Amino acid sequence: MVEQGGKAMAAYLGPRQQAQTDDMAEDIADALKTVSHVAEYWMADPQRTLEAQARLMTGYMSIWANTLKRLAGEEVEPVTRPDAKDARFKDQGWQESPIFDALKQAYLVTTQWAEDMVEEAEGLDPHMKHKAEFLVRQISNAVSPSNFVLTNPELIRETLSTSGENLVKGMKNLTDDLIEGGGRLKIRQTDMSAFEVGRNLATTPGKVIYENELMQLIQYAPTTETVKKTPVLIVPPWINKFYILDLTAEKSFIKWLVDQGLTVFTISWVNPDARQAEKGFDDYMREGIMTALDTVAIASGQRKVHTVGYCVGGTLLATTLAYMAQTGDDRIASTTFLTTQIDFTHAGDLKVFVDEKQLAILERRMKDMGYLEGSKMASAFNLLRSNDLIWPYVVNNYMKGKAPFPFDLLFWNADSTRMPAANHSYYLRNCYLTNNIARGLAELSGVRIDVSKITVPVYSLATKEDHIAPPNSVYIGANMLSGPVRYVLAGSGHIAGVVNPPAKMKYQYWADGPVGPSYDLWAQGAQEHRGSWWPDWFTWFSSWHPDEVPARAIGGGRLAPIEDAPGRYVKEKS
């Protein structure tokens, strides 16, 4: 283990000695400053500090007294229990051993106390308090006794039963991940060798029929004799790759749409480098969505198109719709927003990464390279759910010494993309920092964006446990539109709630709540339905676009295919 540890240290220090990786000093300094504001509130009043310490000590003393009773053979009610969904303490050792049970409860009491300290700190700027809550949660998650060999009963058993072989294998896994990350810890969440885009992921048959500097446009081959007359254009987010909507054949939303008799096109964004540094939001609109609309019209013979925007792809689509409304362009007949925010007032924990100081640091880094590295955004997303996406893999990979299981969704999650400097800066400033798009203060190509001008029919999908686009935030944005809107809430989260094929009969969705400005009132009155929202969407789409025509050949006889789907762009690694 010591030998492997030396290799891990070399893999970590090597790039730093050559100044090939940043040391995160500015990020750490900002975090310390944030937490210090909370500490200042409590230290300013000795009486307040004493009461807070007494509250913590009372919890510890209660745990100590209960532990002594358990050691004496008495049955006692625990001082605190972990959440029923908390997988960290599922092993029976945490319950059976009075010592480990006490350690677990002491940790839970401490973390709750720390969260209360932030919550009760008065006079803090709301953004500062939000950052402090997030940081305290990250620290709490990191110091959990489940993350360390000597304080986790399951890891102790594993180490004894294998004579420490698990730690040797774990250290080798750590070395491999540091080498793969170029000195940064790139935690493997799945067996990356088990999947390949184009082989067992993104396999729906189709062709790339157009490409430019920013995107390829894919048209999928029909599987039915007739198709809906109105074609469908999918606008995925550029911060992830489009094949989240075309995973395995059983999970592919794109394949399901094709099998329902739709002519489906999707944009596959380029994985940008310094050559796209100056490409902004308006470039992604003009060279992405607008150019794709032109191409879809040529290939399908139809001027009117239905569009689907996912996450930030939906935000771009909403601004494009507002731009088209202002300029008299009516080519989009209706649209679907999947977990899309237009108003970012309640945009969740991602807002903790966005303030003027942090943006200045980020923009300086992007200016040097021309883009934001994909690993930076991937790390931010993982931190939003660190107890699901970071620490279980630290324990499994480095403590248990096991390889992660093959999982297509986590392969996609690790297949990150870069972001052009200009585009990413516009997005963060006009959405998360100033909310200018919702406020009607943003511009694209010289046109003021007013989303209230959007009058086309809209299907707006949110997901109940979304940590990126919270459902109340999606609801507020949907209510800013002026056309008929069907708001639907799916079970689960940002990905699983969207990628939920009907055959699985998983989760549920809610619809038809009372129309109005209040999300809470809508949720109280909405009707619950078992299973996937996909059939509900198809019913909605068919009500607006019932006409059918014979199935279309790819390219419509007017555009020559460039290459097979999924194309080159999506295979470019960061």
Active-site position among 311, 372, 421, 462: 311
Backbone angles phi, psi at 419, to 5 degrees: -125, 130
Asked whether the bond before 272 is cis by omega within 30 degrees of 0, the reply is: no
Cα 87 to Cα 71: distance, rounded to the nearest angstrom: 26
Cα 339 to Cα 8: distance, rounded to the nearest angstrom: 40
Count CB-CB contacts under 10 A for residue 87.
Answer: 12
Query: Which residues in 282-364 belong to E strands, given as ranges?
Result: 305-310, 332-338
User: What DSSP state is assigned to residue 208?
Assistant: E
Please, are residues 488 and 526 in contact by the beta-carbon 8 Å criterion?
no
Looking up tokens 């990191």 gives 142
* Annotation marks residue 431 as catalytic: no
Q: Which amino acid is at 470?
A: P
Spatial neighbors of 482 by CB under 8 A, at least 6 apart, are: 452, 453, 454, 455
Strands 226-228 and 548-550: antiparallel
Tokens of 122: 């008065």
H-state helical runs in 72-152:
93-96, 98-120, 126-142
CA quadruple 294, 300, 303, 306: dihedral positive or negative?
Answer: negative
Tokens of 525: 């009155």
Backbone angles phi, psi at 461, to 5 degrees: -105, 130
Tokens of 461: 């999908």
Which residues are the active-site residues? 311
